[in-house]
Each structure stands twice: as structure tokens, then as C-alpha cells.
Amino acid sequence: MTIGRRVRAWHPAPPPLPAELAGLVAADDPDWFARELAIAAAPPWWFGRLALRVFAWLPHVFGRFQVTGSVREEWRRGPLLLAANHIGDFDTFVVAAALHRAGLYPRFMATGSIVAAPVVGPLLERAGVIRVVRGTDLAAHAVRVARVALDTGGHVLAYPEGRVGLAPDGWPERGRTGLARMALDADVPVIPVSQWGAHEVLQYANDRGKVRTALRALRRRPALRVHLGPPVYFGDLLAGRVGDANRARTRIAAAITRGLAPLRTGEPQDRMAYVDPTRPRTGSAAFPGGVVPADIP
């Protein structure tokens, strides 16, 4: 066995899989599915909590970190879903630090390629990151893992857009119905997490330009703002009823957009003030210009 194969095969020891969850694992499921189910059912890993405390300082290094809003104590005890707009590669650190400040330990839903990376991937998996293998039959496994985390009182964060938002004006896209369906099925509160400024730290393209924009942010110190809004209202919606998942998705996008508007005060509403030439402009905002109709709950 080569050193590279040893590195790829290494994983921190997961907690044991509870017997009541063993039936969720089929013979042809990948090995990581059973590990992630066991991790989701267990209390947060001590090393993951330590890493979150240590890295909570990171946004302060690259900008002026500001958090508004809060999460009530009864919701902090969980279960809880958090829905955030996705504006760049650095925003995960910003959002994680903000939620840590609010007394939450988020389990992020993240693209499978990140969790599959050598060394860092296994650590993220053991810390509770939920792998989403998009475009395959394995994508449904992420929902099962997230549901186990919620059933045991966990805090799960997802990006409803499913990617970095690419609307030319920077407002959140409508996204997919996955998080909305999960919220209705599990009947848990959904807290909208609106954030702005992290896109100025790391450019969109994955090349050496990321280093340049990070160094530039050290000098410019952009405002890295996060707002935690009130729970999204789903009282009149039902899991499985035709159209209700789409209504829930629209309400989530509306709540994130409302929370984002004050964070963008003083900036153009029809375009992004910070121009990243590597960022495509191929998306469509759910509410262009940040204007949410009054008839959306």
C-alpha cells in the first residue's frame, strides 16, 4: 500500500452506529454512509467543537466581522435548520463563526468532493459535515443523514441555492426544494441566515487569484456581515401536499432576501458593488433588486 492510499483510507474513528439505524444501510451503500449516520446520531465531536472555537477568529483577520440578530434559547437546544445564501468560498468560515457566536454548533451540508478530499475530508466528516453527492442516486443519502441529525437535536445548515449564487445583482436565487421538503417533513424551525461581504475575500475562480484577493482583503478589510432572522413561517403548509414544498422554498428565499437588504445598505441594489471578473453572471435572483412582495408570508 502506498503512502497516498494510506492517507486516503484514514478516517478518525466514528462513534458506533446505533442498532435502530442499521436498517438504513444497504449492502451496496458506500462505507461513508454508515459512518455519517453514526456521526449524525452522536453528540458533536470534541475536536470539531475545538476547531470551531479556534477558527472563529478567522473572519476578524480578513475584515470587519459583524453579526446581528439572535436565536432564542429554546431553538438553540435543537433541532434546528439554518438556511443561508451562498456568495463565495470564504462565507462558510464567516457563517460558522457567526453561528458559533450565537451558541450553535452547525453541521454543514457540503458538496461531496470536499468531504472526499484526503486528510481534510475525513476530519470534516467526523466533525459532522454532511456529504451531498449531487447529480447521483447518492444525493438522497444526505437527506437521511440530516434527518438523523435533526432527530437527535442537531443544528443543520444548508445552502438552498445548492451552489454559489450567480445572479448579476447578488441577491439570492430561488434554489431547490430539498431544504424546504426537509423542513416540512421534520417539522423543525428554519432560521434564515443572510450574509454579505465574504465574496470580497476569495474570488470565484479557483486559481492563484484567490491568494491575491485574500491579501487585498487583509488591507481593505471589507465588512463581513451576517444576520440571523426570525424563523420562516410554515404553519399553513403540509409535508407531501402538492405545491407546498415550492411555497416553502419561496418563503425561505424571501426571508433570506429580507435579512440581506439591511446588510447591503448604501450599495446598488441592481448590481454588486464589488466586481469579481471571474464570477459568472448566469443566475437569476428569486427577488431581483431585493424587492420581496408584501403578500409573501
Which domains are delineated in the chain? 29-289 (3.40.1130)
265-274: per-residue pLDDT in tens? 999 999 999 9
pLDDT band at 9 (very low <50, low <70, confident <90, very high): low
252-262: per-residue pLDDT in tens? 999 999 999 99
pLDDT of 134 reads 86
pLDDT band at 135 (very low <50, low <70, confident <90, very high): confident
79-107: per-residue pLDDT in tens? 999 999 999 999 999 999 999 999 999 99
pTM of the model: 0.94
Q: For residue 143, which amino acid is it?
A: V
pLDDT of 10 reads 75
Residue-averaged pLDDT of the chain: 94
pLDDT of 136 reads 85
Residue 112 has pLDDT above 80, yes or no: yes
pLDDT of 1 reads 38
User: HEC profile for the chain?
Assistant: CCHHHHHHHCCCCCCCCCHHHHHHCCCCCCHHHHHHHHHHHCCCCHHHHHHHHHHCCHHHHHCEEEEEECCCHHHHCCCEEEEECCCCCCHHHHHHHHHHHCCCCEEEEEEHHHHCCCCHHHHHHHCCCEEECCCCCCHHHHHHHHHHHHHCCCEEEECCCCCCCCCCCCCCECCCCHHHHHHHHHCCCEEEEEEECHHHCCCCCCCCHHHHHHHHHHHHCCEEEEEECCCCCCCCCCCCCCCHHHHHHHHHHHHHHHHHHHHHCCCCCCCCCCCCCCCCCCCCECCHHHCCCCCCC
pLDDT band at 7 (very low <50, low <70, confident <90, very high): very low
pLDDT of 11 reads 82
User: In angstroms, rounded to a whole number, what is the distance separating the alpha carbons of residues 249 and 83?
Assistant: 10
Residue 41 has pLDDT above 80, yes or no: yes
Single out the residue of 95, 118, 119 nearest to residue 107, CA to CA: 95
61-72: per-residue pLDDT in tens? 999 999 999 999
Contact assessment for residue 145 and residue 130, using Cβ atoms and an 8 Å cutoff? yes
What percentage of the chain reaches a pLDDT higher than 70? 97
Least trusted range by pLDDT, from 18-22, 36-40, 109-113, 198-202: 109-113
pLDDT of 171 reads 98
Least trusted range by pLDDT, from 114-123, 220-229, 239-248: 114-123
